[in-house]
Structure 1
Amino acid sequence: MLIDKSITDFLAELKSDSPAPGGGSAAALAGAIGAALGIMVGNLTVGSKKYEVVHEQCKRLSLDFEERLTALEKYIDEDTKAFNQVMKAYKLSKNTEEEKQMRTKVIQESLKAASALPFTVAETCLDVLELAGKILSIGNINAASDAAVAGRMAEAAMWSAIYNVRINLGSIKDDDFVAEMASRVETMVARSEVLMDQLVKTANEKI
């Protein structure tokens, strides 16, 4: 599994001529790094008596970060699996009309799954961005830069996942599915812009 590899081995696979792992798994990893940084800020805050008044809030935020981290670690491998299913579908036999129809159906189903997975990654990274803003506001000021990086990583990861959603939508023939996903992505982007503006404002005040 990719998640079990060393950083060096993961990067070696990423830079190879194999199409997977690719941007989707990289997006999940970036989001996971953001979540881990958020947890670190929480630990540094709870570990300081100076911030005792926000210890309970930070503990709750850390639990929320942990939940997203666990999910994103899983998505690193799931994204590659989803992409491999698409590649497998394209290799199906198309010698007869029946085989062609079955191949088209399987391709479309796999493309939908390969769009849904990075969308979920993007949603999870949006959560990490929101949590990073919260921990930045109340956390140990000595770790403010780490909280800001957590948010920046989460935003970058979210956009990385969105690009993977969009490229798959371009090959999907189900117009209703495409329209719904595109609309949900736009809603997500609008939300991220609000959260990012607040994160930058708070970071500028603290750093």
Structure 2
Amino acid sequence: MRDQTIGEFLEQLSARVPAPGGGASAALHAAQGAALVAMVARYTTGERYAEHGAAVERITAAADELREAALRLAAEDAAAFTAVTDAYRLPKGSDGEKAARSAAIAAALEGAARPPAEVVGVAARVVALAEELLPIGNRNVLSDVAAAAEAARAAAGTARVNIEINLGGIKDGTIRAGFSAAADSVAALVDRADRVTGAVRQEIAK
């Protein structure tokens, strides 16, 4: 996926194949958000921004790391969803086969919920970086701070649905609760992203 052109990825995304799907798309939203943060940070350098140099350098490094993490999660999500479809194809003729199939499906659904749960975490960190960059970033690319927040919002909202669709088949209550908490955290993240975008829109409307 990392080495595909955008056109190739979209062609595969539109095809009737199990993966990539919404989960990989969520991760790529997060990657784009991180990349936008890094871009704004790289425009916020030089003598004019010297007092914020340490913060900008840290933000740039963190955004680059988040972009890489999101790309990794896109690939992991595609692999995890393929495992789910494979589990559902297992034989179920005998009681033993039914039990093995049910266990495989439960394990696969747990695996499929993990990448989007981690995408929510990545998206939250992207929003936090956007919040930090908002007051100090180069005003010529201020709209890209909002774009980063909006990409992170899309990532989190899409990831939440991909967590929730797998919850019903996860039997372990503790694990299920952890994934539910990740999904529930998205509402607050969306509010934060909205505030970043609102602040940008208010400033550029002056």
Contact persistence 1:133–1:148 (CA under 8 A): no
Q: 1:86 to 1:151 in 2, by over 3 A?
A: same
TM-score, length basis structure 1: 0.92
Contact persistence 2:153–2:190 (CA under 8 A): no
Quote the offset at 1:177 in angstroms. 3.4
Equivalent residue for 2:107, pick from 106, 109, 116: 109
Percent identity between the two aligned chains: 35
CA RMSD in angstroms comes to: 1.6
Aligned length: 204
Aligned to 2:71: 73
Cα distance in structure 1, aligned partners of 2:49 and 2:27: 31
Quote the offset at 1:162 in angstroms. 0.8
Aligned to 1:206: 203
Aligned to 2:44: 45
Aligned to 1:152: 150
- The SS at the match of 1:27 is helix
**After superposition, what is the alpha-carbon deviation per residue over 1:123-161, rounded to whole angstroms, capped at 9, x for unaligned?**
111111111121122110111001110111011111111
Quote the offset at 1:170 in angstroms. 2.8
Moved more, 102-111 or 125-134: 125-134
1:49-60 mapped onto 2 (5 Å cutoff): 49-60=47-58
Cα distance in structure 2, aligned partners of 1:110 and 1:154: 26
Higher helix share: 1
List alignment gaps of at least 5 residues for structure 1. Answer: none
**After superposition, what is the alpha-carbon deviation per residue over 1:51-76, rounded to whole angstroms, capped at 9, x for unaligned?**
12112110101111111111001111
Quote the offset at 1:116 in angstroms. 1.5
**After superposition, what is the alpha-carbon deviation per residue over 1:62-120, rounded to whole angstroms, capped at 9, x for unaligned?**
11111111100111111000000001111112222111111110110110110111101
Cα distance in structure 2, aligned partners of 1:108 and 1:52: 53
Instruction: Give the ranges of 4+ consecutive aligned residues of structure 1 lying more than 4 Å apart after TM superposition.
Output: none
List alignment gaps of at least 5 residues for structure 2. Answer: none
Cα distance in structure 2, aligned partners of 1:56 and 1:175: 43
1:6-155 mapped onto 2 (5 Å cutoff): 6-46=5-45, 48-155=46-153
Q: Which amino acid aligns with 1:6?
A: T
